[in-house]
Amino acid sequence: MDEHAGIESAASDGDASPADENADADGDANATSDADEESGSSTIDHPLPPEQVCILLPTLEEAATIGEIIDRFRERGYENVLVVDGDSSDGTRDIAREHGARVLTQSGSGKGQAVREAVEYVDARYVLMLDGDGTYDPADAETMLEPLSQGYEHVIGNRFANMDDDAMKRINGFGNRMINGAFGFIHGANYEDILSGYRAFTRDSFERLLLDSDGFTIETELAVECVRHGIETAVVPVSYRARPDESETNLHPLWDGGTIILTLYSLAKTNNPLFYFGSVGAASVISGIALATYVLWRWIQFSTGHEILAVVSAAAILLGVQLLMFGVLSDMIVTLHREQRRRLEQVRLESRRDRDDR
């Protein structure tokens, strides 16, 4: 009995079978693969804990690109990915689910409506938002989130800092620069690229903004509201690549560009009323003076009177002066209101710090 026991023991402790060797090799390979994945995400210097960040991806017919984008964010340690889809018919939602993202089908239409609705489902403190068309690089995530870790509340990715030559048509580039210049002139802030879709922000700051845009003007409205509410905003360089050939754009340059310019001007009513009313008033005064000059010239040159035109010119001048005065008064009120809001915000922050200290 003892000798047989010794032989069985020796056989089990001796050379391993080929099956055992293969099993050990597979186990080592899996362990190595898991270790590589863990080391890949662990080597990334995250400015914020990934579990506190929600990746928000608005999509519409983005089946060609959405899967790769989700995978790249998950490889970088960002597991909380929320896709808000505009009822795509190309399988975008199914692909997003297969790659591990939460998927929300928006109840309305337009990018602006999708973003506003999706933020209500965000369960993280920080949001990193970008388009799902593959033009923005997930590798810029840490660059976008770094200012949030330093106390900023909103971050804009500047596409012009590192843009591929074929990423934007000339007419689009000209329109973008014109709109950025108009924004700086009207609203008094230089955000370099207000139409960028790569944004990072705190959920708290987003909820303080008054947003009602439904379409592509959402980025413009975000920029204006950041100025209006005094949101600490940073601009960082990001990469911008050409849209893949198999992915079709949903942007209409001329129509959407005109809409954005009108949005910039209309939002000046509450953010810069002196410009809003003053520009119309100045145009009215100039028109009235031009018409009055013509009436005077006709009377001197030909002794011909134009009573009706004279009345119209006088009315235009009076209207323009009144609008200018109204713009000045409105600007004073907005300035006082802005100062009061800043004081209230400071009190709110101080009370929050006191609660945290306790």
Q: What is the mean predicted confidence (pLDDT) over 67-76?
A: 96
The CA distance from 39 to 146, in Å, is 21
Q: What are phi and psi of 87, to 5 degrees?
A: 60, 55
- Give me the pLDDT at residue 15, please: 45
Flag whether pLDDT at 11 surpasses 80. Answer: no
User: So what's the pLDDT on residue 349?
Assistant: 66
Residue 106 has pLDDT above 70, yes or no: yes
C-alpha torsion sign, points 38, 44, 49, 54: negative
Give pLDDT, residue 171. Answer: 86
Q: Is residue 126 a contact partner of residue 48, using CB atoms and an 8 Å limit?
A: yes
pLDDT in tens, 286-300: 999 999 999 999 898
Q: Does position 159 have pLDDT exceeding 80, yes or no? A: yes
Task: Check if the beta carbon of residue 200 is closer than 8 Å to that of residue 153.
Answer: no
Over range 294-316, report the average pLDDT: 89
- Report the chain's mean pLDDT, rounded to a whole number: 84
Report the C-alpha gap between 234 and 191 in whole angstroms.
8
Across-strand partners of 53?
126
- The residue among 161 and 358 whose pLDDT is bigger is 161
In this prediction, residue 251 carries a pLDDT of: 66
The SS3 call for residue 22 is helix
pLDDT in tens, 161-207: 999 988 888 888 888 999 999 999 989 899 999 999 999 999 999 99
Taking Cα atoms as reference points, which of 197, 199, 78, 209 lies closest to residue 133?
197
Q: What is the mean pLDDT of residues 53-71?
A: 95
In angstroms, the Cα distances linking 53 to 34, 49, 149, 287 are 23, 7, 12, 54
Superfamily of chain region 50-271: Spore Coat Polysaccharide Biosynthesis Protein SpsA; Chain A (3.90.550.10)
Name every residue whose Cβ is closer than 8 Å to that of residue 241 and which is 6 or more positions away in sequence: 134, 135, 136, 137, 164, 167
pLDDT tens for each residue of 233-266? 999 999 999 887 666 666 666 777 788 888 888 8
Give the C-alpha separation, 227 to 230, whole Å: 5
The string over 267-285, giving b where at least 16 C-beta atoms fall within 10 Å of a residue's C-beta and e elsewhere, is bbeebbbbbbbbbbbbebb
The C-alpha atoms of residue 11 and residue 238 are separated, in whole angstroms, by 63
- Span 204-229, mean pLDDT? 90
> Does residue 66 or residue 305 have the better pLDDT?
66
